[in-house]
Structure 1
Amino acid sequence: MTAHTTPAPAPAPTTKAARPRALPPAARRARRRSTALGLLAWVAGIGFCLPAMWMLLTSLHSEADAATNPPSLAAPLTLAGYREFFGAGGGPSPWPSLINSLTASAFSTLLVLVLALPAAYALSIRRVRKWTDVMFFFLSTKMLPVVAGLLPIYLFAKNAGMLDNIWLLVLLYTSMNLPIAVWMMQSFLADVPVSIIEAAQVDGARLPTVLTRVVVPVAAPGIAATALICFIFSWNELLFARVLTGVVAQTAPVYLTGFVTSQGLFLAQLCAASVVVSLPVLAAGYAAQDKLVQGLSLGAVK
């Protein structure tokens, strides 16, 4: 008996490779527009970073190379500007000024958060009567130019014996940043679900417990963003610190102005000092970058 075998199927006829479909004109225009916007964003980002990169490069040059016009990019690098800034050449130490800036910024930011959180809670979750008028009042305190109130503040500090006192700067920075913090945190706390607050109150939680254990964890990104912005504003403030302080309470921005002397501008040392003074703010922003992005995006349309 012979085995019955089925014939093999005939090979399929070969066809030409399918060509990719061409994009319609509208899609091509959208792709070109997206590419152009991406390149524009890169150029804008590099443009924003270029001054900081130039400052860093200048801080690594000697005073003679930093003062050349046009500046030399191929000049030898040195850390002489940083050594002079930290007092290696016999100059004044920057540490007291840095500590004063850190003290004023940290304590004023802490006070702002302690005062702004209950105020924002009352304006967003448990709204008081005419809360819009209250919000406008907070905003109106920022309409007066700072220099217009400088003389009364100076006379008050002089009569109270608080000139050249770091705690006066703490109070001024707190009052300066409090309206901004209330406005920011009011929008952040408005997104907190009222149901979880009511559930905590049903369980017997009082207002301090609700704020610390319910509201703060939920609105932590917004609170972190508010704290970072207030810290930056306090750290960079110059006018009050320049007029109201001398030697004891001198802050870092005031210390930077000492590099402009009658002998000239010490550009390399000034750039080195600016880099060092900027590091605390950069470190704080880097540590809280995830909370900052989440906080600034709260309230956006999902």
Structure 2
Amino acid sequence: MAHTPTKGRKLLFTLIAWTIGFLIFFPILWTILTSFKTEAEAIASPPSFVFFDWTLDNYVEVQERSAYFRHFWNSVVISVGSTVLGLLVAIPAAWSMAFVPSKQTKNVLMWMLSTKMLPPVGVLIPIYLIFRDAGLLDTLTGLVIVVMLINLPIIIWMLFTYFREIPGEILEAARMDGAGLRSEILYVLTPMAVPGIASTLLLNIILAWNEAFWTLNLTAAKSAPLTAFIASYSSPEGLFYAKLSAASTMAIAPILILGWFSQKQLVRGLTFGAVK
């Protein structure tokens, strides 16, 4: 018989969960609050949490200085483009490993995952030289490709996990009804795995949006996304904390809004197949 937790235990677990959630969110909250302070208040000791002179001057200056919307559009193109391109590659790859397994499937999956263990700086020089010779430096096309490649192992792993939960008999029935490989993937497999594909898409958009290493090293100005937009507020003269916080808030706001409105779909996809 399943054990039913008492009200006290539920309350305790709820308080613990809210405490952990607040601790995780606190740096973001502090960044947002700092963005409304003056530079003097931003470095004041002891710091003021709420009772300070609120101002929007930092946001005005950041927009005038850095052309926020141009960087925002670059981030949208890079994150959405790399994720969609990754799904086009990962769905057939995950299908083949989930429904046409071989003795090497686990080894291939582990090899793909091992590529995430290599520090990015270890392959910076060869990729930089390839991009330079191919004319892809400081281009959105180049960034879409490189961000797709670094997130591709995660996309394939997640889709493979979701696809494994789909009964193979359904695909066999589709084949018996005359469905070809293309129809099987597009009209049978993909609709059944929509929750998993949606959560994979959302998670990888977030990862691509926050990618800083490659966007800082492979761009200059024309294709710079919001990560480069934030980095521009670290200068030899020092850190301007209030303006840096305003730039950071403007960079994370779109992804926070996306995560807020898609949280149900994201949780549903991440728990897809967890209960049989």
- Provide TM-score, normalisation by structure 1: 0.84
Q: Is the 8 A contact 1:241 1:251 kept in 2?
A: yes
Structure 1, unpaired ranges of 5+: 1-25
TM-score, normalised to structure 2, is 0.91
Kept in 1, the 8 Å contact 2:62–2:68? The answer is: yes
Counting matched residue pairs gives 273
Aligned to 1:233: 207
Match of 2:56 among 79, 82, 87: 79
Could you tell me which residue of structure 2 aligns to residue 48 of structure 1?
Answer: 24
For 2:266, the aligned partner's letter is L
For residues 107-158 of structure 1, give each alpha carbon's deviation from its aligned partner in whole angstroms, at most 9, with x where no partner exists.
Answer: 1100110110011111112324522222122122223211111111112222
Deviations along 1:82-130, one digit per CA (max 9) or x if unpaired, are: 111221xxx2312222111111111110011011001111111232452
Query: What does 1:204-219 align with in structure 2 at a 5 Å threshold?
Result: 204-219=178-193
In the alignment, the residues of structure 1 paired with residue 179 and residue 275 of structure 2 have an alpha-carbon distance, to the nearest angstrom, of 32
1:171 lines up with 2:145 in the alignment: yes
**Identity score, percent:** 37
Quick one: which of 231, 242, 249 aligns to 1:257?
231
In 1, Cα distance between equivalents of 2:254 and 2:7: 41
**Equivalent residues of 2:72, 2:226 under 8 A apart:** yes
CA contact (8 A) 2:66 2:229 kept: no
Higher helix proportion: 2
User: Partners in 2 of 1:156 and 1:194 — Cα distance?
Assistant: 41
Q: Which runs of 4+ in 1 moved over 3 A?
A: 29-35
Counterpart mapping for 1:116-265 below 5 A: 116-265=90-239
Task: Name the Cα RMSD after superposition.
Answer: 2.0
1:67 matched residue in structure 2: 43
Matches of 1:118 and 1:158, distance apart in 2: 31
Q: Distance between the aligned counterparts of 1:238 and 1:41, measured in 2?
A: 30
The higher radius of gyration belongs to: 1
> Taking structure 1 as reference, are residues 258 and 117 closer, same or farther at Cα in structure 2, changes over 3 Å only?
same
Residue among 113, 135, 141 paired with 2:87: 113
